[in-house]
Amino acid sequence: MTFRTVGTLFADFRALFAAALLGAFIATPRAAVLDAQPSLSPTQAMTGETIQLVVRVSADKKEDLPWPRVEGLGAFTVTKSTNVSSGSQTSVVNGTITHSEYFITEFVFNLVTQRPGDYVVGPIRYAHKDFQRDLGSATVSVTKGDAGIIARPTLGKSRVYVGEQTLYTLRIIPKEGVQSVNWPQDMQKYIGQKFFFQPIDSTMAPKVVTLDGRETQVLDFRIALFPLLAGSSTLEGMPVEYRQVRRAARGGSAADMFEEFFGGGGRVVTQTVQSPSLRLEAVPLPAKAPEDFNGSVGKYAITAKLDRDEAATGDAVSLTVTIRGNGQPKSVLQPKLPDLSRFEVYDPEKTSASTVEGGTLWTTHTFKYILLPNREGDYDLSGISYAYFDPARGAYARATAPALKLRVVRGKGGAGGGYAAQREIQELGSDIRFLKTQGPALRNDSDLPYHHAGFVLLLALPPLALVGALFARRRRDRLRADSALLRRSQASKKLRARLKTARAALDAGNPREFYRALSEAMAAFASDRLNREFRGLTQAEARAALSERGASPATADAWDALLQRCDFMLFAGAAAAPEETRRDLEAGEKLLASLDKELA
Amino acid sequence: MKRATSILFGALLLASAAHLGAAGSAAPDLKHDLKAADAAWRAGNAAYEQGRYEEAARDYAGAVKAGAVDARLYYNQGNALFRLNRLGESILAYERARRLAPSDADIAFNLRFARSRAVDKVPETPDNALTRTLWSLHAGYTLRAGTWTAYALWVLGFAGLAVWVFLGAAGRIVAGLASGLAFAALLAFSPSLAYRVHQQETARRAVVLASVAEVYSGPGENQELLFRAHEGTVLDVVETRGEWLSVKLPDGRGGFIRKTGIEEV
């Protein structure tokens, strides 16, 4: 079966396809692929005309289906595409209503050939899971025909530096009957990865030019090309699709005659013309590029301006830098700025705009910086520049903006008035704090003072001291009120002092002074203890006074005898041996000790 | 009488000083070899600074074993254990350091940092400026310093009274005022100190060291499982029942947990 037969039998393909689909649903309701049908149109074509082979595959569910296998396409340039659509079917069988959904995938092959001849397209086979079907083949007759357009590409410069702009112009010269011309959508595919490009013409406006002495209508399509790599490159020809009305030739088919009669004067065909390829040589840039060179090649100019000449510290000042050039637009980065250490500089806002002037693409890049001056002063903001490569001179160059002046005065707010407003410190990370390594040697801090009994004793000391103070105060008050008690309480202390004087005299070898001191000590002690003056008393009165206050008779006698001896040694001028004198001292001490106890 | 009083005071002072002096000095037994502990601590510090955290943790453990109980030691030990990703043990060490020096900002920071890495996020008791101020006053001294401060106020108060007994009218005003101020300060300080002592001697906290510890409604695994506490979670210990501890979380939840897998601060 050939497609010509198919085309005759299935003139209304949709109806027949639906019938086939219904049959297939009933026959194999559970199959993934229900049916596959091919169609080919036209079967008679001219060179460059697009012939479309469509294989429609229906399935009971939506899924990615495999492409059909089609042989005999070697003579054609083939482009492929798919379309998916869906539909539903309701049927009544023996009173039972069933509703089902189906999906149709169209596999489209667009075939173009430039060589005339008869070509067999097929056999065509479709296989998926359990579905396998041979869909037959068809014969296509391609006759030679004149192309409806002439595509003529040119390059502005066929030898440029890497990054330098060159103009690619594809001129279309349409012939009679051409209704429309379409550019290829995927330009990158034909231009390749070796170039950066940007179309210059957004629409194709026909214009009239003089060609070979005749005014001719043409369509120009221009692209700005920038080679990215050094070396020789080929710009492949581009397929240009056009639609043209063709009148039927004598002896044409009945269908063509029918279309010419009812279709307005001829058959509309869609054809494709391949433009010739071109060669381009990209020259590498010389070495020793400036440090801030970013790869911009062409002509560049730079301007800069401030939004004011004077500002206060902390105020925002806008610096706008504009770089205009015809190099690759993406190569332009930020310009080189002068020393702005006295300013807080924010990242610039960048905008770009392209224009076409004289067949060249120019791009203007605008960088808007916000500067916050930190300190007052007069600033010279000269040195804003941009490095580029000038292909006309074959050397690196630098575009420099005119100098700018800015006066900064002291602002009203802020510490010191000369600095910008403070900001929060940005936290960049977090971690535990570091070791503690300073201080005295390690201790045992669990050993606290109150764990020890000694601390309790220490706690008791202050109250005890207070009690002692109270007792001492009381005693002091009693002594102050009773002079006899005071004299009596101090008698022993005074006696010790007097005996010490006596002993000193004895040690000094002065017996007279010794006996005088001893006599004084004995009389004074008795006076103090008894609160009665003993000087001037007779011996009998003194003895009686002592006995009366508790002294034993023996003690009183001894006291009397020692006192008499002292008087004797003092007034009789008798000389006593040292041993005798010392015995008298010891006897006196013993006697006074006894008397102290007895008079207490 | 006077002589006897002096002797009594002297004896008391000597006994107290001797007792406290003996307690303060390093004991000769190995359990309290503070000199060795100090050396181990310094070695641990050096190892830590060179990034040898395993070795630092060993040295710090040795210092603890030698008898040192010092906030700096526990703090550094917590740092080393944190670096080794032993989160539960590091939190335990930080808690021990905080118990000794509650007002230390570094300890509080690192403890908070470590606890933020724990699985269980237990909400802390909300505070305000007033409670923060009161807490900083309450926790702003060590127990040792607090004890001696209270004692100094005690002595000053009684000394003022003793002087007051002896002085004339003019001197009595000064002595009485000094004594009154000292006793007033002691009165104000005592509740804080008493609470601190109470906390030190009776309050019990524990840290979960196991990756997960289960908390039951009673002391046994046949009881209802209430919740699971993860490594680093700090629990208040209420009481001990055999192998089980009755614990509470700051948010009020509580239950019984096995002793294994947790360690008291």
Residue B14 above 60 pLDDT? no
Query: Do A457 and B19 count as a contact with CB atoms less than 8 A apart?
Result: yes
**Cα A444 from Cα B70, distance rounded (Å):** 6
Task: Give the nearest chain A residue to B5 (CA atoms).
Answer: A468
Q: What is the average per-residue pLDDT within B53-61?
A: 95
* Partner residue opposite B79 with nearest CB, options A432, A442, A445: A432
Query: Do A445 and B48 count as a contact with CB atoms less than 8 A apart?
Result: no
Q: What is the average per-residue pLDDT within B30-53?
A: 87
Instruction: Give B-chain residues touching A445 at CB under 8 angstroms.
Output: 69-71, 100, 142-144
Residue B25 above 50 pLDDT? no
DSSP H/E element including A365: strand A360-373
| Integer CA distances (angstroms), A42 to A6, A255, A267, in order | 13, 11, 11
CA distance A556 to chain B (A): 30
CA distance B224 to chain A (A): 38
Q: Is A463 on the interface with B (CB under 8 A)?
A: yes
Of A66, A6, A9, A72, nearest in space to A39 by CA: A6
Residue B28 above 50 pLDDT? no
pLDDT tier, A439 (very low <50, low <70, confident <90, very high otherwise): confident
Interface ipTM: 0.72
pTM above 0.80, yes or no: no
CB within 8 Å of chain A, chain B residues 230-259: none
CA distance B5 to chain A (A): 7
Residue A573 is predicted with a pLDDT of 67
Residue A412 is predicted with a pLDDT of 66
User: How far is residue A364 CA from its own chain's centroid?
Assistant: 31
* Partner residue opposite B143 with nearest CB, options A434, A443, A448: A448
A182 near A171, Cβ under 8 Å? no
- A537 or A508, greater pLDDT: A508
- For B146-179, the DSSP string reads HHHHHHHHHHHHHHHHHHHHHS-HHHHHHHHHHH
Instruction: Give A-chain residues touching B2 at CB under 8 angstroms.
Output: 472, 475
- A213 or A391, greater pLDDT: A391
Question: pLDDT tens digit string along A219-269?
Answer: 888 889 999 988 888 888 888 888 888 765 554 555 555 555 454 557 787
| Cis amide linkage into residue A463, ω under 30° from 0 | no
Task: Name the one residue in this structure whose structure tokens are 């305000």.
Answer: B128
Q: What is the average per-residue pLDDT within B166-189?
A: 87
Sign of CA dihedral A260, A264, A265, A266: negative
Question: pLDDT tens digit string along A485-496?
Answer: 888 888 888 888
Pairing of strands A44-46, A131-143: parallel
DSSP H/E element including A372: strand A360-373
- Of A109-118, A326-335, A399-408, B5-14, the one with minimum mean pLDDT is B5-14
Mutate to test the interface with A, among B13, B19, B77 (most CBs of A within 10 A): B19
**Cα A159 from Cα B87, distance rounded (Å):** 69
Q: What is the average per-residue pLDDT within B160-165?
A: 87
Q: Is B188 on the interface with A (CB under 8 A)?
A: no
* Partner residue opposite B155 with nearest CB, options A441, A454, A462: A462
* Partner residue opposite A452 with nearest CB, options B23, B42, B106: B23
Count of A-B CB contacts under 8 Å? 139
Q: What integer best gives the mean pLDDT of chain A?
A: 81
Residue A496 is predicted with a pLDDT of 87
B148 near A449, Cβ under 8 Å? yes
A35 near A21, Cβ under 8 Å? yes
* Partner residue opposite B38 with nearest CB, options A442, A450, A459: A442
Q: What is the average per-residue pLDDT within A267-275?
A: 80
Which tokens sit at A197? 């490009």
CA distance B226 to chain A (A): 33
* Partner residue opposite B68 with nearest CB, options A442, A453, A460: A442
Question: pLDDT tens digit string along A162-190?
Answer: 999 999 888 888 888 888 888 777 777 77
Mutate to test the interface with B, among A427, A431, A432 (most CBs of B within 10 A): A432
* Partner residue opposite B69 with nearest CB, options A446, A468, A475: A446
Q: Is B76 on the interface with A (CB under 8 A)?
A: yes
Instruction: Give A-chain residues touching B264 at CB under 8 angstroms.
Output: none
Q: Is A358 on the interface with B (CB under 8 A)?
A: no
Which tokens sit at B21? 């002096």
**Cα B12 from Cα A35, distance rounded (Å):** 116
pLDDT tier, B157 (very low <50, low <70, confident <90, very high otherwise): very high
pLDDT tier, A390 (very low <50, low <70, confident <90, very high otherwise): very high
The number of beta carbons lying within 10 Å of the beta carbon of residue A99 is 8
pLDDT tier, B60 (very low <50, low <70, confident <90, very high otherwise): very high
- A358 or B216, greater pLDDT: B216
**Cα B127 from Cα A248, distance rounded (Å):** 97
Angle, CA A354 vertex, CA A353 and CA A355 arms, to 5°: 130
- Of A257-271, B133-147, B152-166, the one with minimum mean pLDDT is A257-271
**Cα B33 from Cα A444, distance rounded (Å):** 10
- A25 or B200, greater pLDDT: B200
A326 near A360, Cβ under 8 Å? yes
pLDDT tier, A509 (very low <50, low <70, confident <90, very high otherwise): confident
**Cα A150 from Cα A207, distance rounded (Å):** 15
Task: Give the nearest chain A residue to B27 (CA atoms).
Answer: A444
Residue percentage of chain A with pLDDT more than 70: 87
Of A537, A507, A509, nearest in space to A522 by CA: A537
- Of A508-512, A568-572, B211-215, B258-262, the one with minimum mean pLDDT is A568-572
**Cα A411 from Cα A417, distance rounded (Å):** 6
Q: Is B200 on the interface with A (CB under 8 A)?
A: yes
**Cα A391 from Cα A166, distance rounded (Å):** 12
Which tokens sit at A81? 């595409």
A324 near A362, Cβ under 8 Å? yes
Q: What is the average per-residue pLDDT within A211-220?
A: 82
Q: Is B11 on the interface with A (CB under 8 A)?
A: no
* Partner residue opposite A465 with nearest CB, options B18, B71, B162: B162
Task: Give the nearest chain B residue to A446 (CA atoms).
Answer: B69
- For A557-583, the DSSP string reads HHHHHHHHHHHHHHHS-----HHHHHH
pLDDT tier, B19 (very low <50, low <70, confident <90, very high otherwise): very low
Residue B20 above 70 pLDDT? no
Instruction: Give A-chain residues touching B165 at CB under 8 angstroms.
Output: 466, 469-470, 473
Mutate to test the interface with A, among B3, B5, B6, B148 (most CBs of A within 10 A): B5
A598 in helix, strand or coil?
Answer: helix
Instruction: Give A-chain residues touching B200 at CB under 8 angstroms.
Output: 448
**Cα A576 from Cα A573, distance rounded (Å):** 9
Instruction: Give A-chain residues touching B167 at CB under 8 angstroms.
Output: none
B24 in helix, strand or coil?
Answer: helix
Q: What is the average per-residue pLDDT within A323-346?
A: 88
A68 near A124, Cβ under 8 Å? yes
* Partner residue opposite A455 with nearest CB, options B20, B67, B69: B20
Residue A147 is predicted with a pLDDT of 74
Residue A209 above 70 pLDDT? yes
Exposure letters A549-573 (e unless 16+ CB within 10 A, then b)? bebeeebbebbbebbebbeebbeee
Residue B27 above 70 pLDDT? no
Query: Do A452 and B147 count as a contact with CB atoms less than 8 A apart?
Result: no
A464 in helix, strand or coil?
Answer: helix
Q: What is the average per-residue pLDDT within A11-21?
A: 43
A135 near A124, Cβ under 8 Å? yes
**Cα A32 from Cα A127, distance rounded (Å):** 11
Q: Is A346 on the interface with B (CB under 8 A)?
A: no
**Cα A199 from Cα A185, distance rounded (Å):** 12
Instruction: Give A-chain residues touching B23 at CB under 8 angstroms.
Output: 447, 449, 451-452, 454
pLDDT tier, A93 (very low <50, low <70, confident <90, very high otherwise): low
Residue percentage of chain B with pLDDT more than 90: 42
Query: Do A473 and B63 count as a contact with CB atoms less than 8 A apart?
Result: no
Sequence-ordered list of residues with C-beta below 8 angstroms from that of B205, at least 6 positions apart, any chain = B95, B234, B235, B236, B237, B264, B265
CB within 8 Å of chain B, chain A residues 413-432: 430-432
Residue A135 above 80 pLDDT? yes
Residue B172 is predicted with a pLDDT of 84
A128 in helix, strand or coil?
Answer: strand
A298 near A357, Cβ under 8 Å? no
**Cα A599 from Cα A495, distance rounded (Å):** 14
The number of beta carbons lying within 10 Å of the beta carbon of residue B7 is 10
| Integer CA distances (angstroms), A592 to A493, A528, A600, B214, in order | 12, 13, 12, 90
CB within 8 Å of chain A, chain B residues 124-143: 142-143
Which tokens sit at A476? 């002091």
